[in-house]
Amino acid sequence: MLETSTAHSHTYNEITNQPVSWKTTVDAISSQWAELQPQLTITPDTHYVFVGCGTSLYIAQSAAQCFQEITGYTSLAVPGSEVFLSAKSTVPSRYPVIAFIISRSGTTTEALLAADYLAANRSNVTTIGITCNSDTELTKRTRFSIQLPHAHEESVVMTQSFTSMLIALQYVAASLAGDQMVIDQISSLSTYLQRDIRSFESKAQELGENLNLDHFVYLGLGPNYGLAQEGNLKLKEMTQVHCEAYNPLEFRHGPISTVREGSAIILLAGNRERDYVPSLVTDLKEVGAFVASCSPYPIDGSDMHLLVGKELTDVPRCALYMPFLQYLAYYRAVSLGLNPDQPRNLSQVVKLDE
């Protein structure tokens, strides 16, 4: 599968490294969290807030839903800018809050401003930075930190860092809840990905190289919504192809009007929405879409189907959908003659001048 022309693509190598980085992530977070958790004051009314920008916001969106589902604590995702510009409308003020601030580099301006804002203005908030670098600026500005430097990346686009930080946050939730079943499943992810990664890559290549498809829609519900957003962002960053992301049932409320010959729908389905999938696929086929579905069960009527994590429950399965979406963006970029490592108009870290 690996072609000569792409042998040195950082993006390709970082996607392909995920069985390794996921295993290291579980080891790293289990030891770091064992040290960190006893230092936190957690009360029954603690709220959790997940803060990020871009890809890190999509980690935040998925992590917040996973966290609330596993722990029962109220959990929210907030874009970095809305913390320091709109805290009254976004960050709970009447409860103790633990805020995870997510930034691969640990230097994103908005993540730093969010950390500074909370430290200066919100005594009810304890901040924990989570990064894929060691000893960053964010580490200095948050009360605590989680560091996953093994998931560091050379590429502009985030791939293994997305899944590694998501898995780490799911581990934290399971650890807080004492949910050994979820911890065991998270620990097994690396093995499942190792088993399936070539099949995910092969299907992603087939879909990415199909240039008859020129409009992509990513659908995910609940914890999968952030994954759909991230799949969409990967393709958008790397190829500038017209693409969008929605909750699958929301998609019928308006956006389905854009589907036509040439539209590909990438459906990330879990167990919770299984009863609603058949009629959705029927509706999508009726308006002319190509349907590529990813789920832990077969889906009739799909033009392409990936069996993903049938051994897993919905929350721990999340990361396993991502390599297919990442390879899809990668192969589309390569087939368009673009450099996946260096997207148009973008740099590795967004730094703002006010």
Task: List residues near a second copy by CB under 8 A.
Answer: 44-45, 47, 53-55, 57, 65-66, 68-69, 72-74, 76, 79-82, 85-86, 88-90, 92-95, 110, 221-223, 233, 236-237, 240, 242, 244, 247-250, 252-260, 272-273, 275-276, 279, 287, 343-346, 350, 352-354
- 127 dihedral zone (left: phi>0; alpha: psi -120 to 50; beta): beta
Cα 180–183–185 angle (5° rounding)? 110
> At its nearest, how many Å lie between a second copy and the CB of residue 267?
14
What residue has token string 């994103």?
108
Tell the smallest beta-carbon distance from residue 147 to a second copy (Å). 21
Comparing CB distances to a second copy, the nearer of 288 and 298 is 288
Shortest distance (Å) from residue 299 CB to a second copy: 15
When the beta carbons of 7 and 120 are compared against a second copy, the nearer one is 120
Cβ 178 to a second copy, closest distance in Å? 17
Q: Which is nearer to a second copy, 24 or 90 (CB)?
A: 90
- Find all residues with CB under 8 Å of 262, minimum gap 6, and list them: 212, 213, 214, 215
- Give the residue from 316, 9, 326 showing the smallest Cα distance to 171: 316
Of 248 and 309, nearer to a second copy (C-beta) is 248
Question: Which lies closer to a second copy via its Cβ, residue 28 or residue 333?
Answer: 333
Closest to a second copy by CB, 68 vs 145, is: 68
Minimum distance from residue 325 beta carbon to a second copy (Å)? 14
3-state secondary structure 281-298: HHHHHHCCCEEEEEECCC
